[in-house]
Amino acid sequence: MYGWDDVDYYDEREEEGGGEEDGYDPCPRNPAFRAWLRERFGLEAAEDPNEIVRAAGAELGDAFAAWIGPLVPDAVAGRGTA
């Protein structure tokens, strides 16, 4: 899931059971992804990916909105200030 200011992990499969699960449990394969990223590229995953999303939005948000707006008007309808 994503928005103009943040992203988060959501697994729709977790809703199938009904129950009280809200689908926001950490991805069970996250440790494997982090190990792959480290071994393959020598990178560490961002501790707060939302910092990257906010920085990208501040730098590129207006240009992205100008580009996507004519194609997908609903994409920019809920956009807050960048």
Task: Dig out the tokens for 8 from the structure.
Answer: 């988060």
Q: Quick one: pLDDT at residue 18?
A: 53
Q: Is the pLDDT of residue 9 over 80?
A: no
Question: Which long-range contacts link 75-80 to residues 24+ away (Cβ below 8 Å)?
Answer: 78/3, 78/4, 79/4, 80/4, 80/5
Residue 27: per-residue pLDDT: 77
The pLDDT, as a whole number, for residue 35 is 96
Q: Is the pLDDT of residue 81 over 50?
A: no
Model confidence pLDDT, tens digit, residues 16-58: 655 555 556 667 888 999 999 999 999 999 888 888 888 998 9
For the entire predicted model, the pTM comes to 0.56
Beta bridge partners of 7: 2
* Torsion of Cα atoms, 77 then 12 then 57 then 43, to 10°: -170
